[in-house]
Amino acid sequence: MNKWIFRGRLSLKSFGMSIGLISLLSGCTLVKRPETPATLNSRYNDQQPALSGDGRWVALVSNRNGTNQILLYDLRAKQLVNLPGLNQSNVILESPSLSRTGRYLVYISSIQGRPDVALYDRATKRTELLTQGYRSWVRNPSISPDGRYIVFETARRGQWDIEVFDRGPLIELDIPDGTPVKGVNNVRSQ
């Protein structure tokens, strides 16, 4: 589907409406712009961008479907990537942050107005609420490049403070393919 956009200037003369309309039409040019919802920018609000550590992925918040949702854009392929199970109609998502290769995506998930820090794993296509049951407001999460640590702001003490969430040493780290993992002992069965 194509969208036509008129570019030009309006020149209203005191000679009457017909001369003003002719002037308007003669000063316009047609620009053919395809309407493709799979592009990085759209006619909707696209905001809160986050770039992966390797520079390939951009996570952003968009209201293309009538509610805030998180989209992932592949800068190499120049297209949006499907995130199965992430966006739901009754949940507002915002403040995305990406790990090094974009495997892990951390964000704020608000169900019925209550924000939680959530983690989406693109490899398993699963979401985990990290602050479910937390008795304080949270905002602005950020994930470490390897995906182990998540920092966010919390109002637990009546003011905004920083908390660090350690996912633990046993998680699968987000590292480039072929990179040796330091500090991990390889145990062989005998």
> 13 lies in which domain range?
2-34
Give the DSSP H or E segment for 23: helix 17-26
- Both 30 and 53 in one domain: the answer is no
Per-residue pLDDT at 64:
87
Strand order in the sheet with 46-51: 46-51, 57-62, 69-74, 79-81
> Which of 4-8, 78-82, 105-109, 124-128 has the weakest average pLDDT?
4-8
Confidence label for 122 from pLDDT (cuts 50, 70 and 90): very high
- Both 66 and 142 in one domain: the answer is yes
Is 190 part of any domain? no
Q: Do 98 and 51 meet the contact criterion of CB atoms below 8 Å apart?
A: yes
Q: Rounded CA gap, 102 and 77, in Å?
A: 14
Q: Is the pLDDT of residue 80 over 60?
A: yes
Is 179 part of any domain? no
- Both 70 and 141 in one domain: the answer is yes
- Both 72 and 129 in one domain: the answer is yes
- Both 12 and 53 in one domain: the answer is no
Closest-CA residue to 144 (of 124, 165, 170):
165
Q: Is the pLDDT of residue 35 over 70?
A: no
Question: How many structural domains does the chain have?
Answer: 2
144-189 pLDDT, tens per residue? Answer: 999 999 999 999 899 999 999 999 999 999 977 656 555 544 443 3
